[in-house]
Structure 1
């Protein structure tokens, strides 16, 4: 009987080929099906580090966790809630991966979720550093850290500065746990707690209000990390490496990392977006990037890359502009490099010639200051700058101006934010375009300055959304 079957196969090879083809297809089907199931239920630890107030220890815990996970060989991806540029630089220092901004005012929800999902396809852990207090938003809790946690459906790790409190922390924890029932408060880490006896009072408070205690960080006098240090430049960052090492040691010693990660396990959806079409544009974009100019969202760089080829240059160190169809001068710390910028006459001349030849330039904050006639430092000394615009900027009086901005140009709304201590002097006769409002759409005195094909403003724009960059370029 068996011999007859083999003889049949021998003289009817097409039958064998069809059966083999069927089996291969069946295996491929089940492999694809199982792979799809794995993608659907793929889970990774994801959490937001938040606090009741600013300066409670969010950055300290975040950097300690980032460095501790890196030391363990865990691929952790940092993010930053809000428009901040400085914290992502510290993220890069802590785990060698730049923090990605997630901002619910400047980014549409679907766009933000797509960015987050894209960034989390490979990393093992997501750590988002919150902004200000947990529920502080542009209007009430809109755009707050809590709103971001709910949108992404990930838990919150609350950091509480308990240096001067013991069991009285209970009503505070109760309020944050119950104020918004849709928010998942996974647990709390207490900052500036040096002894186990002090920590025990805090544990008792947690147990009585139903919040999971997730450890403590002692007060480390040599580990102060600047939260908004407008004198900090890129070349100064490495000096904080030792402090981050100490924070990582404290986290390893006093925070149960493995239970924390297990507590924050959440599903990650597979990436649904299709890859972008091949680049066909021959446009060249030159982006300033050095110690003085370095405030730029990664999503903005990605948007520029969709338009053409990017080359980076340094207004500090280079003597001439690279050949380009568009120059982007982002913000940064020009006020910390006034001697060097003023002394680089060759670069200033190169940019002036580019401007007068109708070259296109887009400048934000520090980049705008560089294009002015001069910058006056905190001592009152004046340094010559580009002179493209006939105004100066001054660090006197040093007054903080910050907030979200709605920008209306050519019938289109763009979004951004301001954060600067300098002021503009003598801009009354400068051409301006558009209208600028705050988060509540109330008019503010911020301006978009225009000269030939140059557009400049104190505002940092978010250009990662579809067509936002093109709308801005149309205004230039």
Structure 2
């Protein structure tokens, strides 16, 4: 068993301030010299970039739907090694899970980790009434330990004093309204950490207005967790997998990159906007914002390199933004740009969400990139549509999710596959891609 001080930062609902306050808590703890391991409940790619920048440690996603309960525990314990405290930022409201259930909710993760919960409550426009809400959240599921509250958008010291007069749970802080600290957003969520350092600015606010020693003691009250399963012995790295990583391609689950390394891959990071294609045996294009950088992607000779590599038989795997890059063209509000031209489709950005939610996928076609007959889970979130050629070949059937064509995903040509689904790699997924790269290298 391993003692891991930990706390889950939950909210009553989206927009109550849990992201900024969780990031502020991480910054305040780090400023005190503590080694902080950050986590994010759910499939989100953006909040973890802020966590990682603040803590200097890679933030990990914890998602029971994609990972399973055992996977959540394994990732949490393994990633927390060497940390003084773990801070888990929740998703949506505390009890909001898959299709109205508990599954993959913040409460679900808190129960898996046997972790105390700090509830962030928006107190704007209310005083004593907030306790009715707090009592409801604290008593809704007795298996969830809602251990205290932090009230956000406090109007004045008197406002906080009125709230504390009839408190039903310990109050660990009252955060005043701060219009000067804000993080910009766009169609897929907040700006990435590389674009703004605003999140770290909340550290001083949390230090000034919250009971940090009390929060640390609360985190230390969490019971020990079982020691993690040792990761598999890593084979000698012999397959070089090029991973697109820049402002256009920045959505990757850290566990997926770990699994590629465990399978024997040597990651070679490059920018399709500024670099030529490196000497690699396979390619992985994650999601991100190719629509914001379409002009640079179109001007780069890398897209021609990618097309030649696919013609030569190189295995290529792309997700969401990576899928768009692999198509023939990308139409945005600013123009129509040529892309890699690997997949027989054109991508068009639209003004509304075209796919959002969890995905369950089954491989039904033949491709060396995805193991035939295998299945995996993931998530989709996109504002684009694909206009595919009439003879387009799909290798994924979706039991859940929209994909490219109303339940079909995984557009495939030769040894390249592009899909809207951001997959959480199950056992064998990374190995399949690595074996495909090895076969290509030997050919």
Question: Residue 7 of structure 2 contacts residue 88 of structure 2 at CA under 8 Å; is this kept in 1?
Answer: yes
Which secondary structure does the structure 2 equivalent of 1:267 belong to?
coil
**1:316 aligned to 2:273?**
yes
- The structure richer in strand per residue is 2
RMSD: 2.3
Distance 1:373 1:88, change over 3 A: same
SS in 1 for 2:284: strand
Instruction: Report the alpha carbon displacement of residue 60 of structure 1 after superposing the two structures with TM.
Output: 1.1
The change in CA–CA distance for 1:65 and 1:227 in structure 2 (over 3 A counts) is farther
Deviation of 1:233 (Å): 6.2
Do 1:393 and 1:423's aligned partners in 2 also have CA atoms closer than 8 Å?
yes
TM-fit CA distance, 1:134: 0.8
Identify the residue that residue 343 of structure 2 maps to in structure 1.
389
Give yes or no for the alignment of 1:117 onto 2:77: yes
Mean CA deviation greater in 94-103 or 330-339 = 94-103
Q: Report if the CA contact (8 A) 1:374-1:383 is conserved.
A: yes
Paired position in structure 2 for 1:461: 423
Residue pair 1:117, 1:268 contacting (<8 A) in 2 also = no
Query: What's the offset of the Cα at 1:275?
Result: 5.1
Partner of 1:327 in structure 2? 283
Helix, strand or coil: the match of 1:388? coil
Asked if the contact 1:231/1:336 (under 8 Å) is kept, the reply is no
The 5 Å alignment of 1:67-146 reads 67-139=27-99, 140-146=101-107
Q: 1:304 aligns with which of 251, 256, 260?
A: 260
1:473 deviation in Å?
A: 7.1
Distance 2:294 2:228 in 1: 47
Greater displacement, 362-371 / 387-396: 387-396
What's the secondary structure of 2:64's corresponding residue?
Answer: coil
Question: What's the counterpart of residue 377 of structure 1?
Answer: 332
User: Counterpart of 1:90 in 2: which secondary structure?
Assistant: helix
Determine the structure 2 residue equivalent to 1:357: 312
* Alignment match, 1:252: 207
- Contact 2:185/2:191 (<8 A) preserved: no
SS of 1:402's partner is strand
Equivalent position of 1:450 in the other structure: 412
Out of 132, 144, 165, the residue aligned to residue 126 of structure 2 is 165
Q: Quick check: 1:366 aligned with 2:328?
A: no
1:176 to 124, 137, 141: 137
3-state SS of paired residue (1:214):
strand
> Which residue is 2:369 aligned to?
none
Tell me, yes or no, if the aligned pair for 2:260 and 2:434 is still in contact at 8 Å. no
The one of 105, 129, 152 aligned to 1:191: 152
Contact 2:394 2:408 in 1 (8 A): no
Cα separation, 1, equivalents of 2:186 and 2:86: 23
Three-state SS of the structure 1 residue aligned to 2:362 is strand
The equivalent of 1:264 in structure 2 is 219
Provide the rounded CA distance (Å) in 2 between the counterparts of 1:392 and 1:239.
29
**Structure 1 position 444, deviation (Å):** 4.5
- Alignment length (residue pairs): 425
CA change 1:58–1:355 in 2 (3 A) is same
Correspondence for 2:110? 149
By how many angstroms is 1:228 displaced? Answer: 6.2
Contact 1:376 1:395 in 2 (8 A): yes
Is 1:225 the counterpart of 2:183? The answer is: yes
How far is 1:398 from its partner? 3.3
Q: Secondary structure at the match of 1:261?
A: helix
Provide Cα deviations, 1:229-285, integer angstroms capped at 9, x if missing partner: 538665xx35632x3344112111110010111122223346353353241352221
Per-residue CA deviation, residues 153-205 of structure 1 (Å, 9 max, x unaligned), is 00111001111211111221111011101110010101110311111222134
TM-score normalised per structure 1: 0.84
Mapping of 1:269-280 within 5 angstroms? 269=225, 271-274=227-230, 276-280=232-236
Q: Give the 3-state SS of the residue equivalent to 1:69 in structure 2.
A: helix
Report deviation, 1:306. Answer: 1.9
CA positional deviation for 1:108: 1.9
Q: Does 2:353 correspond to 1:399?
A: yes
2:381 to 419, 427, 439: 419
**Against the structure 1 CA distance between its residues 274 and 244, is the aligned structure 2 distance closer, same or farther, given a 3 Å change threshold?**
closer
1:429 has 2:372 as partner: no
Shift of 1:101: 0.6
Q: 1:164 to 1:474 in 2, by over 3 A?
A: farther
Partner SS, residue 357 of structure 2: strand
* CA apart distance, 1:111: 2.0
Q: Which moved further from structure 2: 272-281 or 367-376?
A: 272-281
Q: CA 1:448/1:104 → structure 2, altered by over 3 Å: closer, same or farther? A: same
Distance in 2, matches of 1:277 and 1:411, equals 26
Measure how far apart 1:86 and its partner are: 0.2
Whole-Å separation in 2 of the counterparts to 1:141 and 1:227: 28
How much has 1:414 moved relative to structure 2? 0.5
SS in 2 for 1:286: strand
Structure 1 residues 244 and 435: alpha-carbon distance in aligned structure 2, compared to 1, 3 A threshold? closer
Q: Confirm or deny: 8 A CA contact 1:412 1:471 kept in the other structure.
A: no
Q: Is the 8 A contact 1:191 1:217 kept in 2?
A: yes
Deviation of the 1:114 alpha carbon? 1.2
Which consecutive residues of structure 1, in runs of 5 or more, have no partner in the other structure? Answer: 1-39
Deviates more, 1:148-157 or 1:161-170: 161-170
Name the SS of the counterpart of 2:92 in structure 1. coil
> Which position in structure 1 is the counterpart of 2:26?
66
